[in-house]
Every structure is written in structure tokens, then in C-alpha cells.
């Protein structure tokens, strides 16, 4: 029968980090390791929340700028529609004047024809 290692030795060969963990726990340094892990988690959460606050402020700034842009666009659109209305009214008045001029020219031609026929 071939020589086989006991189960504990096999595990130690496969997972050598178990020995390191056992040494840390046996030496009573697990409290220090726990404190370091908790400190790292607290620090990570601090950075995460700080980044979240920065992003939140940036988002608020973007929304404010977008609001101002929308207000400017609405104002521009309103002034554009007012100008379009003024142009439309001016066109109507011009069309009326052109029609009046056409009628006057036609009346003058008829007078000339009447005066020539007399």
C-alpha cells in the first residue's frame, strides 16, 4: 500500500494559509486583525459616502443648469412665436395693400379704356 499523508498534513499542503491563520489566532492577534478589517470597512464606507455626496452635488448642479437652459429655450421660443405673429400680421396688412393697389390699377385701366372709347 502506498504511503499516504494524514488528512491534516494533506490540507496543510493544499492550503498553507490555514497555518498562518492558525498562528494569528493562537497568538491572540485576531483582535488586531478584526480591528484592522473594521477600520478598513469604515474607511471604505467613508470614501463611498464622500463620493456619493460629491456626485449628488454634481447632479444638482447639472439639473440647475438644465433648468436654466430650458427657461432660456422657452423664452426664445416665446419671442420667436411673437415675432412670427408680428410677421403674419405684417403680411396680412401688406397683402391687403397689394390687393388695394391692384384694384386701383384696374380701375385706372378701365378709366383709360373708357376715355379712349369716348
- The residues near 24 (Cβ < 8 Å, ≥ 6 apart) are 30, 33
- To the nearest 10°, report the CA torsion of 40, 46, 51, 56: 150
Cα separation, 101 vs 94, whole angstroms: 10
Most confident of 28-42, 75-89, 94-108: 94-108
pLDDT digits (tens, 9 = 90+) for 32-79: 777 888 889 999 999 999 999 999 999 999 999 999 999 999 999 888
pTM for this model (two decimals): 0.46
Q: For the stretch 82-100, what's the b/e string if a residue is b when 16 or more beta carbons lie within 10 angstroms of its beta carbon? A: eeeeeeeeeeeeeeeeeee
Amino acid at each position: 500500500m502506498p504511503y499516504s499523508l494524514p488528512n491534516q498534513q494533506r490540507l496543510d499542503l493544499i492550503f498553507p494559509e490555514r497555518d498562518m491563520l492558525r498562528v494569528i489566532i493562537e497568538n491572540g492577534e485576531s483582535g488586531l486583525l478584526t480591528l484592522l478589517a473594521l477600520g478598513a470597512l469604515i474607511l471604505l464606507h467613508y470614501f463611498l459616502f464622500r463620493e456619493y455626496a460629491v456626485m449628488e452635488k454634481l447632479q444638482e448642479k447639472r439639473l440647475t443648469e438644465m433648468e436654466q437652459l430650458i427657461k432660456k429655450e422657452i423664452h426664445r421660443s416665446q419671442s420667436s412665436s411673437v415675432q412670427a405673429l408680428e410677421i403674419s400680421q405684417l403680411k396680412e396688412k401688406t397683402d391687403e395693400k397689394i390687393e388695394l393697389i391692384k384694384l386701383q390699377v384696374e380701375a385706372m385701366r378701365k378709366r383709360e379704356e373708357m376715355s379712349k372709347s369716348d
